Structure 1
Amino acid sequence: MATIRVKDWTKKELRRIRDAESHSSYDSVIKSLLKDRKIAKYANDDGGTAMGESGQSQAADIDKAFDDLTVLAELTGSHDGVLFLWCPNCGNELVHLTAEQPLGLSVFEMECQRCLTRLDSQAIVAIELRYPIEQKMIEGQLQTDLKSCVMDYWDRTLEAAANNTLETEAPTDRLVWQFDQYHKQFTWDWPTDVPTVSFVPGVTYRNTATDERIEVVEAVTENRNAMDSYKIRRCTADGDVVPDQLDSSTVVDWIVNRKLVVTEQSVGTTTPAT
C-alpha cells in the first residue's frame, strides 16, 4: 500500500478534524477536505464567500509576478486560509500558519534557522496551497521563484514610492535602507533590465537620466539604520573618470526614482555590518 509522509503539524490537524467530525479514518478526513475545497471553488466562481472574494480581489488589485507567491508585507488575505512562509535567501520553510480574513500582520519578524538571516515582512514570502511546492523543489525552481517574487515586490514598491502611490506608513528612505541591507545579505546579482534597489561597492551602475556610469568604490560612513554615503568614480560619456563622493540622500533619491541600472557587477557583494 502506498504511503504519504506528512509533517507533524499536518498530522495533528488531520487528527483534530477526524476526532471533531467523527471520521472513521484519515482517508475520510482528506476526502471531506477535498470535497469542501471543490465546493468552495464553485462558490467562489459564482461570487460566493467573503474569504474567496478577499483573496480574488487581492490578486486582481496587485499586478505581481506570481499569483500564489506574495511578499508578506503586501499580503491582505489568503485563498485557502493557510500560508507557508519561506526564506528567499536559502529556500527554507520558516513556518506555516492558519490565516484569518482579512490578514493583519503589522509587525512580523523571525530568524531563518538554516541561514540565520533575520527577516521581516519585507523579505518573507508567503506561499499559498495552490502553488506546487514539491514539484518546484524537484525541478529546482522553488528558490528562483522566491527570489523573483521578492525582487518584483521591491521594484514595484519603489516605483510606487516614486509615483507617490505607496500605501505604507514606512518612510521611503527607511524602505530603501531595508532593501539595500537585504540585497547585500542575500548577495544576489541584480538583473540589468530592472532599476536597482541597492548601492553596492564593486558594482558599476548607469544613471539613466545622465547616461553617466557610476562605479561604487566604498562606503565612507557607517550608518546603522540609514543609507551610507559612498566614494565613487564617475565615468562620463566623454570617457573621463572623475573621483567623487555621493551623500546618502542622493543615493536614496536615485534609487527611489529608478535612475540606476547595473552594468557591471563583481562575483560577490558586500555583506553589511551588523
Structure 2
Amino acid sequence: MATIRVRDWTKKQIEEILEEESHSSHDSVIKALLKDRELAKFAGTDIETEESTSNADQQPPENKAFDELTVLSEMYRADNDVLFLWCPNCGKELAHLTLENPIDISIFEMECQRCLNHLDQHVIIAIEIGYPIEEKLVEDNLQADLKECTIDYWDRHLEQSTENTVTEESAIEQLVWQFDQYVRNFQWDWPDDVPVVGFEAGDTLHNKVDDELIEVIEPVTENRNALDSFEVKRYPEGTDPNEARTEIMDSNMIANLIINRSLYLEEDEP
C-alpha cells in the first residue's frame, strides 16, 4: 500500500479531529474529510487549502529599514519574479535569480568571489528592482545601506526569537555565534544604538537591563562552532572598575544577554 507523507501541521490537525470526533484511525479521518469536500463541491462551496491559506497569511516584515532591500531569509515575494543577490561585506553582486512567488528559502549558501566570505540566507541581501542602485553606486552609499539592512535584520530576528520555545533555544544560540562570526569577518564597527550580536575581547558593554558595565577580557574556551565563555569584569555604572573582581561568564549567559537584546557597545572615553 502506498504511503502518503503529510506535514506536521496537517498531522496535528488530523489527530485533533480523530480525538474530537472519535474516529477509529487516521484513515477514517481522511475518508470523512474527503466526503465533506465532495459535499462542499456539490453545494458550490469554495474549499480553501492549507497552502493557499498560508500564502494569504504571508505579510512583509514590519519595521524594515528598507523597502527594496531584504535579507534573503525573510524574502517572501519578488517584484517581477527577479531577485538580485548582493554581499553586504564588499558590495559585490553575487547572482540574480528568476523564481516563482511566493518565495520560501529556508537554506541558501554561497561564497562571495570577491571577499571570499561564506554567506548564507541570514546575510545575503536581495535587492529588488525598485531600489535606486545606480544612484547609490554613484553616491557611494550602497555598502552602507547593505550593512544597515543586515544589522537591522539581525536585531529584529534575535528580538523575535525571544518568543521561541525551549527546544529552539540551541538553534538560536548557534545563530548568535554565526552572527558574531560575520561581524568579526567583516570587521564592522558596530553602532552604539543597536544591541550587539557578539561578544569580543577588549569591548566594554553596557547591560541596560541591570545597568551594569561588562569589560570583556579574554575567552577562556576555544569552541570552534559555538560561543565561548569569557573572563570579564562586571560592575555597576559609575563605580570604579579597578575595584571589580574578574569572573567567568559562561556562554549560555552571554547568549541569553545577546538574545534578550540587553547589551550595547559602550563608547570609549575621549
Q: TM-score, normalised by structure 1?
A: 0.71
Q: Deviations over 1:3-26 (max 9, x none)?
A: xxxxxxxxxxxxxxxxxxxxxxxx
Q: Which runs of 5+ in 1 are unaligned?
A: 1-53, 267-274
Residue 262 in structure 1 maps to residue 269 in structure 2: no
1:158 and 1:179 map into 2 onto residues whose CA distance is 10
Report 1:69-148 matches (<5 A). 69-148=69-148
SS at match of 1:222: coil
Cα drift, residue 57 of structure 1: 6.0
C-alpha distance in structure 2 between counterparts of 1:101 and 1:236, whole Å: 52
> What amino acid is aligned across from residue 81 of structure 2 in structure 1?
G
The Cα shift of 1:171 comes to 1.6
Counterpart amino acid of residue 259 in structure 1: S
**TM-fit CA distance, 1:169:** 9.8
Q: Distance in 2 between the 1:258 and 1:241 partners?
A: 24
Q: Is the 8 A contact 1:217 1:232 kept in 2?
A: yes
Counterparts of 2:232 and 2:178 in 1: how far apart (Å)?
Answer: 22
Give how far 1:170 is off: 7.8
The DSSP-based 3-state class of the residue aligned with 1:145 is: helix
Question: CA shift at 1:106, angstroms?
Answer: 2.1
| Percent of aligned positions that are identical | 52
2:227 is equivalent to residue 224 of structure 1: no
Give the deviation of 1:242 after TM superposition.
2.0
Change (3 A) 1:177 1:120: same
In structure 2, runs of 5+ residues without a counterpart are: 1-54
Structure 1 contact 77–99 (Cα < 8 Å) conserved:
no
Please report the TM-score for the alignment, with normalisation by the length of structure 2. 0.72
User: Which letter does structure 1 place at the counterpart of 2:172?
Assistant: T
1:247 to 244, 247, 250: 250
Distance 1:169 1:213, change over 3 A: closer
Instruction: Confirm or deny: 8 A CA contact 1:214 1:234 kept in the other structure.
Output: yes
The list of structure 1 runs, each at least 4 consecutive aligned residues, that deviate by more than 4 angstroms after superposition, is 54-57
Paired residues, what number? 210
Structure-2 residue corresponding to 1:177: 177
Larger Rg: 2
What amino acid is the match of 2:85? L
Q: How far apart are 1:156 and its partner, in Å? A: 0.2
User: Alpha carbons of 1:58 and 1:79: their partners in 2 closer, same or farther (altered >3 Å)?
Assistant: farther
How large is the Cα RMSD of the aligned pairs?
2.3
